[in-house]
A and B are shown apart, each in its own frame.
Chain A
Amino acid sequence: MKCSEFLHELTDYLDGVIDAPTKSELEEHLAWCHNCYVVCDTTKKTIEIYRDSQLYELPEDLRTRLRSAIVTKCQSRKKSEPGTA
């Protein structure tokens, strides 16, 4: 397997949606190709770091304010269109 072929399968490999024969070919490549091992490992870390980061968390006070604005507008729409949502 060439490195470019490995990269082509990287997303499916990291997502665990790959058939067993392809998976073992990829892992055989990883066993000897240091560069692909590093790319695979650091891509996996990239995903985990973003997933576990608290980037763009909605602060509780803003959350309450937004929810109350949404509910108020939904209630006024309900009044203006009786019997429909």
Chain B
Amino acid sequence: MGAIQPKVGEPVSDELALVASAKAGDVAAFEELVRRYDRNVFRIAQHITQNREDAEDVVQDAFIKAYSNLKQFQGQSKFYTWLVRIAVNEALMKLRRRRPERMVSLDEEVKTEDDSVPREVADWSPNPEQQYTQAELREILDKTIHGLPASFRTVFVLRDVEGLSTEETADALELSIPAVKSRLLRARLQLRERLNKYFQKPSREKDKTNGSQKPISGDGNQ
């Protein structure tokens, strides 16, 4: 089984030139940067806020904040990573405003059961996503990721949906690399487990292929 293939991003060779022009007051150059990253910022914002209107506000606020603070961008990270950091902070602020009763922080230690050990191991049908229409699939994925803690959703969307590296994610979220890795593992395993009910093989097929509902034991014995 091979590694997952990363999403190939657009070339960014001219990006520093665009940033330099925008810093000098060229709004058209900044508009090009908006055009390049607005879809990513919207996706990230909606993953975090889980609310479309908030995500629209985050897109506007994050780009305007980035424009106003361009002088602070020193070019030590990619412009995109810097922009993501601003967008994540704006999105978390929206989330805190909407759910003041719940403390929302990327540093929070999320108390869950021992979620590093999958409870249910069920094999999926081949190409399970094809059992559903695009709209049904989007609804399933939306509902499934909705239940994850904000700190898991955020790491998952940056690493696995947007294709940032572990280092870039750590940089954008101001988390340590081990913290990013631990949240990513738990996010991936929890999403997998929650998707089981939609994607697992029908029970007759499961019997044939020795599919198991047993939890994985710690000693490696089946």
Binding site for B on A (CB under 8 A): 1-4, 7-8, 10-17, 27, 29-30, 33-51, 53-58, 62-63, 66-67, 69-71, 73-75, 77-78, 83-85
**A75: which B residues are within 8 A, CB to CB?**
27
CB of A78, distance to nearest CB on chain B (Å): 6
**B145: which A residues are within 8 A, CB to CB?**
50, 55
A49 with B64: in contact, given A34-B210, A34-B212, A85-B24 (CB under 8 Å)?
Answer: no
* Complex contact A66–B60 (CB within 8 A): yes
Counting contact residues on chain B (CB < 8 A from A), the size range is 35 or more
**A42: which B residues are within 8 A, CB to CB?**
123-124, 192, 195-196, 199
A44 with B4: in contact, given A7-B116, A53-B141, A74-B30 (CB under 8 Å)?
Answer: yes
CB of B144, distance to nearest CB on chain A (Å): 9
- Other than the given A38-B211, A46-B192, A51-B7, 12 more pairs (CB < 8 A) read A41-B124, A43-B189, A45-B128, A48-B4, A49-B195, A51-B4, A55-B161, A56-B42, A56-B46, A57-B39, A58-B42, A73-B64
Give complex CA distance A29, B222 in Å: 12
The stretch from B80-88, B89-97, B102-110, B180-188 touching chain A is B180-188
CB of A65, distance to nearest CB on chain B (Å): 9
Residue ID in chain B nearest A15 by CB atoms: B3
Give complex CA distance A47, B5 in Å: 10
Interface on chain A toward B: helix, strand, loop, or mixed SS? helix
* Complex contact A70–B60 (CB within 8 A): yes
Q: Mark B1-17, 1 if CB is under 8 A from A, else 0.
A: 11110010000000000
Q: Mark B120-134, 1 if CB is under 8 A from A, else 0.
A: 011110001100001
* Complex contact B3–A14 (CB within 8 A): yes
Which of B23, B123, B163 has the largest count of A CB atoms less than 10 A from its CB? Answer: B123
**B4: which A residues are within 8 A, CB to CB?**
14-16, 44, 47-48, 51
**A54: which B residues are within 8 A, CB to CB?**
134, 138
CB of B22, distance to nearest CB on chain A (Å): 6
Residue ID in chain A nearest B181 by CB atoms: A11
* Complex contact B216–A39 (CB within 8 A): yes
